[in-house]
Chain A
Amino acid sequence: MSCIYPIGGGKGGIGKSFIAANLGVLLAKQGNQVVLVDLDLGGANLHTFTGMTNVKTGMEAFLDKSVKNLKEVVVPTNIHNLSIISSVNCSMEIANLSAAQKNKVINALVKLPYEYVLLDLGAGTNYNTLDFFLSSYEGIIALTPEPTSVENAFKFIKALYFRKVKQVLGQNDFKLYSQQVEMNSNALEVTSQVIDTVLEKDPEKGEILLQELQKFKFKFIINQFRKTVGTKLGEKIEKVCNKHFYSEFQFLGNVCYDERVHDSIFSKNIFVNKYSYSVSAIDLSHIVIKLQGNRESSSPHTLGRYERL
């Protein structure tokens, strides 16, 4: 059974792909079988972070049905134990997956015979991105310590909740309940109002909904961290989310800003390999340790495993 960690977070350019690739490398170096999956179908660049220039096959072959099993489009990287399913050859039309295709991908992801499956998601909150993220109970939200990014992260959580609520309630009920809610721009209010309304009008369904939301153990990473930002930002966000949302939130750690990240991409070097003693690389390795700590101590249903939505 594999551990699936989707990496998302609403905002573009915050380092989702950088984190996915480098966590993948660190996990692989420990001897785990790891596959990186580029699910940013419209802007695939995960292969670049692993130092690859051309990729022979990838997601496109699975989507256009030239291969049947997703396993067949896995390509090894230069790193021992680390493979990738790239989407760089996906055409623009493919990027807008149909619901059926999306489900097909999600169902195939679960069956991949790897210990760790890391999903690199695109920016934004479209349904495909949200559903990929919700394919595991242990999605990782990336953000940077700026107001715009924090705002996007909260919006992302709201969108996840909305999506989940919709799935649990079904289209009709969702319509019914959300009609009674005043839609304003505040993430927290809207989400809680829908849930409160359900709890009030249909307590049984409300309970199921709550149980479903409580299964999530979201994680988050603050990337491009700078010393000038209070070091307690992550702990504070963790506390606030645990207090005000219905799921569990875990802060995995800060990853320092380092100019050499940019250089390493240019020179096709993998950051944690080339600069393995940099503060940022050490930050990333601490995150790996924390993730694995969870794995050992958690109960079966909270492992980052896929369950049918």
Chain B
Amino acid sequence: MNDYKKMNYYEVLEVPVNASFFEIRHAYKEALSVYGEDSLSTYSLFSEAERETLLKKIEEAFQTLMDEKKRSDYNNQLVKNGEADPDDLFRDYNKNSIPIFLAHNAVDKNSFFKKVKKKVGESSIQKLSREILETELIAGQDLKKLRQAIGIELEDIFEVARISISILKAIENDDFQNLPSLIYLRNFLKLYAEILHLDPEKVADSYIINISLLQK
């Protein structure tokens, strides 16, 4: 009824304009569970075509708002169209404290660290960590694999270490063109490694050697 085609991405996901990445991912998952094909809560409410349009819009919203660059362009557009108040938008959306790990009951960093610690204690994770540390060269995908095995989202790392998502992505993809300068990179790698309970120095050294080899 109310025309969702006219809704902006924030309205579609029902998040405030200064929502954090956590909130956005959470809202996205929520939206999928409501508008998905097998959702009881919208059973028979939409035609197939309508549902498809809705899901597409939700996807668009998510892809745009999760990407710093796209989001900032989009925000500028909203301000230009008078749809958003610049004061709200530019109030740093990163600084809000937000649920970590997306668990409803885990709302602070402590519980995040506790959760990670517990998970890292599991034998399968320990095995994976050992394998990574034993290799000469550590690639981005090794870190990514471990991160995902532990169940950490990029937004979690962003939240506790303040490393931007795009840099984290560049690190994980060995995308040296988008990596920051060496001194920053070292720092970021150490922070990242610490979260994964890996030896920070070892990770930073091995990663940087690997990258320099790739660059050639």
Interface residues of A (CB under 8 A from B): 145, 147, 150-151, 154-155, 184, 186-189, 191-192, 195-196, 229-230, 233, 236-237, 239-240, 243-246
Contact = CB atoms under 8 A, between A and B. Distances in A.
Interface in B1-15: 1-4, 14
Interface string B39-50: 111111111001
A186 B34 contact: no
Interface in B27-55: 33-34, 39-47, 50
B45 A154 contact: yes
Given A189-B50, A236-B33, A243 B2 contact: yes
A160 to B, nearest CB: 13
A151 B41 contact: no
B41 A236 contact: yes
Contacts of B4: 243-244
Secondary structure class of chain B's binding surface, majority of residues: loop
A151 B2 CA distance: 19
A295 B20 CA distance: 36
Contacts of B34: 236, 239-240
A187 B40 contact: no
Contact of B1 (A147, A192, A239): A192
A136 B46 CA distance: 27
Q: What are the 3 tightest A-B residue pairs by CB atom distance, in nearest-first order?
A: A236-B41, A151-B44, A192-B1
Contact of B43 (A150, A184, A192, A243): A150
8 contacts: A186-B50, A189-B50, A230-B40, A233-B41, A239-B34, A244-B2, A244-B4, A244-B45
B40 A145 contact: yes
A121 to B, nearest CB: 21
A243 B4 CA distance: 8
Interface residues of B, number: 17
Contact of A244 (B1, B14, B40): B1
Given A188-B1, A191-B1, A245-B2, A237 B41 contact: yes
B46 A188 contact: yes
Contacts of A188: 1, 45-46, 50
A245 B33 contact: no
B1 A245 contact: yes
B2 A187 contact: no
Contacts of B39: 236
B2 A150 contact: no
Contacts of A192: 1, 3
A6 to B, nearest CB: 22
A187 B41 contact: no
Nearest to A213: B1
A233 B39 CA distance: 9
Contact of B46 (A186, A229, A230, A236): A186
A200 B2 CA distance: 14
Given A191-B1, A246-B1, A246-B2, A154 B44 contact: yes
